Amino acid sequence: MSEENSSGKDFRKNVRRKSLKSFAWFFLFIIFCVAGWKWLMHQPEEAGALKPLRTAMDANEKIFSGVFSDSHLEPTYPKTSAVTRVRVNGNYGMKSDLDTAAWKLLVVRNADITPIADTVEISLEEIKKLPKTEVVFNFKCIEGWSQVTWWGGVKFSDFAEHFHLGTKSGNAPDKNNKDDLFKYAGLRTPDGEYYVGIDMPSIMHPQTILCYEMNGRPLPMNQGAPLRLIIPVKYGVKHLKRIGTLFFSDSPPPDYWYEQGYDYYAGL
């Protein structure tokens, strides 16, 4: 009887000892998690995002731009599927008046040379002379909503080809000579209030257009007349309305929402 009691005692002791050891580890793990979270939340910010998260976003960009393919197309719809009441979301860079008749697109062929010298001005008429491309696709806002919309304009790659833009040599872009292509294109509204940066593969994607029509009619002012970007491989924030300046660079151009803590790439 006493033997059993003592072995019972030993057993309980053993259980307690083993438990304590495991639970010590368990509480260490909890402390590690809490401390890790606190550490993360107290990191300095880089472009509006906590630095480790910014690093992660940039790494994600590398991964997902690495698997980006021109042959992956955003699904398109028949024109009858397009909504008639197209959502207007934000008017950054469009608060001032604009003389659309006098408007010309300013293109900086090489923004990496200072002072900026090599520029071209292109009128809407010249742009409209190029073959028209239409795209009906599900426009996706970074907020989470989407809408099937119908846009018309000039394929950006056709535009670059015609005006010999986006290359360091000044020749038309050549798919087999990627070193000649700039890494980025930057766009700005005429007042400079809104601006986006876009990687070259995305802006040269076959569905990216310089858009001057919506639902088969001239682009309305609140949708970015006279010319806006439609780039189905990106969230809506990159579809800059009322383009004033287009420039090419090897370094990432400033980006409005990137500075507010969003991902630079914003690719879909």
Partner 1 sequence: MKRIEKKHPLAIRWFHWINFPVLFVMIYSGLLIYWANDVYTIQAGQKIFFKFFPDGFYKALTIPFRLAQGMALHFFFMWIFFLNGLAYVIYTAVSGEWKYLLPGRRALKEAWQVLLHDLYLSKKKPPLRKYNAAQQIAYTGIIIMGIGSILTGLAVYKPTQLYWLTKILGGYEWARGEHFILTIGYVLFFCVHILQVVRTGWNNFRAIVTGWEVVDEMKEEETILVDGIREKVSKQAE
Which two three-digit tokens encode residue 37? Answer: 């979270």
**How would you classify the pairing of strands 146-155 and 45-46?**
unpaired
CA-closest candidate to residue 267, choices 63, 54, 49, 76 = 63
- 106 lies in the site for partner 1, by CB under 8 A: no
CB of 18 to partner 1, least distance (A): 6
Of residues 31 and 113, the one with the C-beta less far from partner 1: 31
Cα-trace Rg, the chain: 27
Q: Are the C-beta atoms of residues 119 and 107 closer than 8 Å to each other?
A: yes
Could you say whether residue 39 binds partner 1 (CB under 8 A)?
Answer: no
Q: Is 89 in the site for partner 1 (CB under 8 A)?
A: no
Under the binding rule (CB under 8 A), the answer on residue 142 touching partner 1 is yes
Q: Among residues 60 and 123, whose Cβ is nearest to partner 1? A: 60
Q: Which pair of structure tokens corresponds to residue 36?
A: 């890790």
Q: x/- binding map, residues 110-139, to partner 1, per CB under 8 A?
A: ----------------------------x-
DSSP alpha helix (H) spans, 95-174: 124-129, 156-163
Furthest-apart CA pair in the chain: how many Å? 106
Instruction: Give the separation between CA 248 and CA 112, rounded to whole angstroms.
Output: 8
Residue 260 sits in the site that holds partner 1 (CB under 8 A): yes
**Counting contacts by CB under 8 A, is residue 67 touching partner 1?**
yes
Judging by beta carbons within 10 Å of its beta carbon (0-12, 13-18, 19+), is residue 164 exposed, middle or buried?
middle
For residue 77, state whether it binds partner 1 (rule: CB under 8 A): no
- Angstrom distance (rounded) from CA 264 to CA 46: 12
Site string for partner 1, 216-245 (x = CB under 8 A): ----------------xx------------
Interaction between residue 254 and partner 1 (CB under 8 A): no
CA angle (123 as vertex; 118, 126 as ends), nearest 5:
105
Contact 238, 224 (CB under 8 A): no
Nearer to partner 1, 122 or 229 (CB): 229
Tokens found for residue 9: 């005692």
Q: Among 10, 29, 79, 95, which residue sits at the site for partner 1 (rule: CB under 8 A)?
A: 29
Query: What is the rounded distance in angstroms from the CA atom of residue 229 to the CA atom of residue 243?
Result: 7
> How many CB atoms sit inside 10 A of residue 23's CB?
10
Which of positions 45-64 make contact with partner 1 (CB under 8 A)? Answer: 48-50, 52-54, 56-57, 60, 64
Residue placing its CB nearer to partner 1 in the complex, 96 or 260? 260
By CB under 8 A, tell whether 75 contacts partner 1. yes
Could you say which of 96, 123, 146, 251 contacts partner 1 (CB under 8 A)?
146
Does the protein bind partner 1 through residue 1 (CB under 8 A)? Answer: no
Interface ranges with partner 1 (CB under 8 A): 8, 11, 14-15, 18-19, 22-23, 26, 29, 33, 37, 48-50, 52-54, 56-57, 60, 64, 67-69, 72-75, 138, 140-146, 232-233, 257, 260-263, 267-268
